[in-house]
Amino acid sequence: MVRKKGISERAFRVAGALTGLMAAWSPLAYGAEPIASGTSDGPGAIEEIVVTAEKRSESLQTVPMAITAFTNKTLVASGITDFRDYAVQVPNLSFAYAGSIASQSQSIAIRGIYGQNTTGMYLDDTPLPETVDPRVLDIDQIEVLKGPQGTLYGARSMGGTIRLVTNQPESDDVQGYVHATGSGTTHGGANDSVDAAINLPVIKDTLAVRLSGYDDHLSGFYDRFATPGAPVDYGEQKGINASSHNGGSISASLTLLDNALTITPRVIVQHMTEDGHTYADYTAGNLTQYRLFNLDEPGSDQWNLYSLTVKYKTPIGTITSDSSEFIRKSADSEDDSEVVALFFGTPGAPVLFHQTSRDQNFSQELRFASEFSGPLQVTGGAFYQDSGELLGTPVTPDAPYISDIFSSRTDTQITETALFGEATYSITSQLKAIAGIRWFNNNVKFNGNEEGLAVNPASFSDTQHQAGFNPKYGLEYRVNDDDMVYVTAAKGFRTGGVNAYSNTLCAADLAALGLTNATAQSFVSDSVWSYELGIKTSWLDNRLRIDAAVFDIEWTHVQQLVDLPTCGFGITVNGGAARSQGAEMELQAAVTEALRLSMGAGYVDAKIVNSGALNILPDGSPIQQVPKWTYNATADYRFNVSELPAFARIEYAHVGSSISENNSIADPLFRPAYSLTKVRSGVDVKQWEITAFADNVFNAHANLADAQPQAIVLPGRPRFVTNRPRTIGLDFRFKF
């Protein structure tokens, strides 16, 4: 049994740690004079970063929360274009790909809280599904908020929240950029991309329009050959996983009433198509696939986002309304010819499983952020979201032997209603108290059916309802202008859901777990209580920053994916309790005006502490897909070459080993550690920037996840989601 610590014991421990940390980090503890303000803009100082994590603009160093932030300058310098590029640079952030539709399989873990819908994904103030990977295009900055954000962000931020903040239309100047890249990938071919953005003032100080767009093509690096015994030797099929991405956005900003009222409508479109999966057979470094038939496994993902933000400034604060409609269509396919022949004993015939998904989400938030003159500040409001997902597998034949192997349809509807508020009160000039709460009321409704030879034709439906409160408490102490200590306790949760699987093929696996079809069809909410102690410090006239935090997260009714080894499906079940404890540190140093260094390290020990009635994973088992260690380092150097301003940058990231999500107690699977290195160097002449780069310099083949199949894993042939091999190219950017 897990012993529950009493509030008094926790308070005693936190207070003791807080006192010690304050003493240790105060410059006065070393007999030194207090150093200058951490917001210094003197020569060589680290630039100040303003974030909106608490739904108001604040300096990063004054927010009592662990946040990793990437400015636009960093995004450009690092060549970041998608989630994987920046994810490996965030301590204690890990990710995997767990869904049967490849484009919707991204799952993120922050501080060991892993599983779908544990991390919030926001584009400005618009919530998106965690599986969406917005193109890092025309982005002002990215903010990664660590720890549960249940008060201000709700159910899908149990482990943390990622916010992409876009560049807004400005009505004063015409400005923009054009950016093009050409590269080549080891064992692949040529890649190319182009993107651009322009800001157009229409009426000075009143109306502006901003447009952006991109188009890129990535070569495939997997080759397909006919397996021995194939009916036809179809020769070598090269680059079977090539992909294309394109999209863009248009937004406007209308300012009225002496700048008090701002109206910002926006439309964003993103479209992806791929010829095949980035899956490796047997080992992550195997770039060759052997198949009975020459069947492509195409996929696509298209989403549109329509949003309207209205802000009205009053003498005591700002009222904001955020409305959005998100529509997404995805499709995927999978070659299961050999699996079908093995399980049903039919002669080998081409069998291609298809799966489609349609999502439509409407959300509305209305909130107020105060600008009171006194010690009290508040942020509060109301939130509503109506989400729907229609997941389907059309009739799959094994012609001419089986007319329908398996087909299904699942319709899930989720409505979320919430009221939230968070307040800070300055008890003294140095000590501030924080308190917040969110009342939520969530309803989940689903129905579906399944047909085909692999199952007993059946229909199923169910509903779930949950209401409750997510509180948050904290203290912030300003040791001086440069150093801050904070402590927080916060609760977070996520909603339950439904499983899709073959009830006939999986009957024996369910029985082994003590489950029936009725009890396995759905799973309930899980929740966490997080306790965090952190520091934010600035030294040497803001030429050195060191931020660090320690945390203890107690997780109950853990939603765990369990592999059903006989039938090849995976289902989510509630698996007892877990604990995640760890620490993280981030450092930035302006060594000279030319040389900048940054480093980050995270350690997390996330494990099961109560296996629950199902005993999915025994006590002490690590949480799936969560590495204990993540760390990164970057060096950026500016110099001159024949009077031309030049730069060189090297980045290193390491992700430790972890246990696979598609797991079983009898035959555990592990993901080995991997390290990625990238280098960039070039010249920056007035408006022009030309960069030579190499990504994945040492051609590491990372096992990002054990691929979850649409149907059944072929026994003895596991498939792994992998990263892109070494890619070398040139990057051109023109700013105006």
- Position 414, amino acid: I
Contacts (Cβ under 8 Å, ≥6 apart) of 15: none
Question: What is the rounded average pLDDT of the residues 502-526?
Answer: 83
Q: Model confidence at 547, in pLDDT bands (50, 70, 90)?
A: very high
Give yes or no for residue 127 having a pLDDT over 90.
yes
Domain-wise residue ranges, the chain:
7-735
Give yes or no for residue 33 having a pLDDT over 50.
no
| Residue the block writes with tokens 């903040």 | 165
Give yes or no for residue 733 having a pLDDT over 70.
yes
Q: Model confidence at 571, in pLDDT bands (50, 70, 90)?
A: confident
Does the structural domain 7-735 have CATH classification 2.40.170.20? yes
- CA dist 692 and 648 (Å) reads 10
Between residues 5 and 472, which one has the greater pLDDT? 472
The pLDDT tens digits for 225-235 are: 999 889 999 99
Mean pLDDT of the chain: 89
Share of the chain above pLDDT 70, in %: 93
Q: Model confidence at 662, in pLDDT bands (50, 70, 90)?
A: low
Share of the chain above pLDDT 90, in %: 71
Q: Model confidence at 175, in pLDDT bands (50, 70, 90)?
A: very high
List the structure tokens of 51: 């974030």
Question: What is the rounded average pLDDT of the residues 601-626?
Answer: 88
> Residue 703: its pLDDT value, please?
93
Helices (H) and strands (E) in the chain, counts: 6, 42
pTM of the model: 0.90
Give yes or no for residue 153 having a pLDDT over 90.
yes
CA distance to 73, 267, 268, 279, 631, per residue, from 673 (Å): 30, 40, 36, 18, 12
Among 115, 112, 74, smallest CA distance to 93 is for 112
Among 458, 263, 436, 339, smallest CA distance to 709 is for 339
> Residue 568: its pLDDT value, please?
63
Question: What is the rounded average pLDDT of the residues 72-101?
Answer: 93
Give yes or no for residue 25 having a pLDDT over 50.
no
The pLDDT tens digits for 237-289 are: 999 999 999 999 999 999 999 999 999 999 999 999 999 999 999 999 999 99
Q: Model confidence at 24, in pLDDT bands (50, 70, 90)?
A: very low
- Position 517, amino acid: N
Give yes or no for residue 352 having a pLDDT over 80.
yes
Question: What is the rounded average pLDDT of the residues 97-112?
Answer: 88
Q: Model confidence at 20, in pLDDT bands (50, 70, 90)?
A: very low
| Residue the block writes with tokens 């952006």 | 212
- CA dist 600 and 93 (Å) reads 11
Give yes or no for residue 7 having a pLDDT over 80.
no
> Residue 17: its pLDDT value, please?
40
Half-sphere exposure of 597 (CA within 13 A, CB side): 8
Give yes or no for residue 1 having a pLDDT over 70.
no
Question: What is the rounded average pLDDT of the residues 683-701?
Answer: 96
> Residue 32: its pLDDT value, please?
32
Among 116-120, 668-672, 687-691, which range has the highest average pLDDT? 687-691
Residue 402 phi, psi (nearest 5): -130, 125
